[in-house]
Structure 1
Amino acid sequence: MAGIKSINLDGEEVYVFNSAIYIFESSAGNTLEVDLIVSEVTLRKFQDRDSMITEIELEDDRILSSFMFLKPVPGKLPRLSLFCELDPEESYEGVSRISEEHSDFPDIEAGISLEEIRKVEMPNEKITLKLNLPINQVEWLKEQKNKELNQLFKELLEGYLER
């Protein structure tokens, strides 16, 4: 069975925690499908795109290049699922085949947790706080740069959470 060694989406190499590549056989036709567990940062970067140029290096060093479409697939972990029509000029030797009648899709989420993914790449979120502070503290806060305040609150929260 063929496995993915590396993947580039629109020219950018993407860190993949787990993946599956297979040919989905249905009455409507056959498609090449690629499922990827990625970081939340990567998911946010690519999830709103309809399609992208994809270059997949398989474990046997073959390269599959294609224009692939993104489809939403629910799951507990950040996931990108791509598909495209089969290219008659490509060799798909060793790529698993899954029939619509026996839809036994690979479980690429098994053995991976969101905590493990966040150890590799932690996403940042913007937050707006409404605080009621003495005026001198408010004035001091307004004089600070965002970068400095972000670092200050990050350190305060890390110290508080370690207790």
Structure 2
Amino acid sequence: MVVVKSVKIDGESLHVFKSSIYIFESSSGFTLELDMIVSEVAVKKYRNEETLILEIELEDGRIINSIMYLKILPGGLPQLNLFCELDDVQEYGDFEKINEYDAWFPNIENGITLEEIRKVEMPNEDVSLKLKLPIDQAEWLKNQKKGNLNEIFKELIYDYWKKQESK
């Protein structure tokens, strides 16, 4: 079985939690497929791309450089599915081959959780709040810088959250 050691997209290293690389055989031909569990940040970064330039380093030292098409797989853990057509399947003889009629596909989600992924790279979300506060607090909030407010609210929410969990 071929194992992926590292992946670079457009020259930038990508943290891959789990992956599977294989040859997919369909009636229209063969494709090299790379399924990866990545962070939500990575999915968000690449979601609107159609093709990416990949450098895939395998554990045995081989390096695959290719332009690959991107599919975002919905549901479950954050995943990227990258694929490219193959002309010469012979040079990938040791890769697992999956036929379009096979009932089995690599399940790379086993053994990893979203919480573990978020420990490595926590995504940030923009949030808008509408609050009714005393005027002195509202004025104070308006005078704060956005970065400062982000830190205050993060700390406040985490402190409150921990207190609620310990009850």
Assess if the C-alpha contact under 8 Å between 1:64 and 1:90 holds in 2: no
Structure 2: stretches of 5+ with no match in the other structure: none
| Residue pair 2:30, 2:87 contacting (<8 A) in 1 also | no
1:80 aligns with 2:55: no
Give 2:25's aligned residue: 25
Q: What is the CA deviation profile of residues 3-51 of structure 1, one whole-angstrom value per residue up to 9, with x for unaligned ones?
A: 1000011111100000000000111100000000000011100111000
RMSD (CA atoms): 1.3
* C-alpha distance in structure 1 between counterparts of 2:66 and 2:51, whole Å: 10
Counterpart amino acid of residue 157 in structure 1: I
What's the offset of the Cα at 1:90?
Answer: 7.9
Partner of 2:106: 106
Shift of 1:87: 4.8
Partner residue, 1:123 = 123
Q: Alpha-carbon deviation of 1:74? A: 2.3
Give the drift of 1:89.
9.1
Structure 1 residue 124, shift from structure 2 partner: 0.6
Name the counterpart of 1:50.
Answer: 50
Question: Separation in 2 of the partners of 1:22 and 1:28?
Answer: 16
- Asked if the contact 1:24/1:32 (under 8 Å) is kept, the reply is yes
Letter in 1 for 2:121: E
Is the Cα contact below 8 Å between 2:70 and 2:83 reproduced in 1?
yes
CA distance in 2, matches of 1:3, 1:44: 25
TM-score (norm 2): 0.93
Match of 1:38 in 2: 38
Residues 39-98 of structure 1, C-alpha deviations (whole Å, 9 max, x = no match): 001110011100010110001010011000012322310000000011539821321100
User: CA offset at residue 103 of structure 1?
Assistant: 4.1
**Secondary structure of 1:161's partner?**
helix
CA distance in 2, matches of 1:90, 1:59: 19
2:35 matched to 1:14? Answer: no
CA contact (8 A) 2:18 2:108 kept: yes
Structure 1, unmatched stretches of 5+, are none
Q: How many residue pairs were aligned?
A: 163
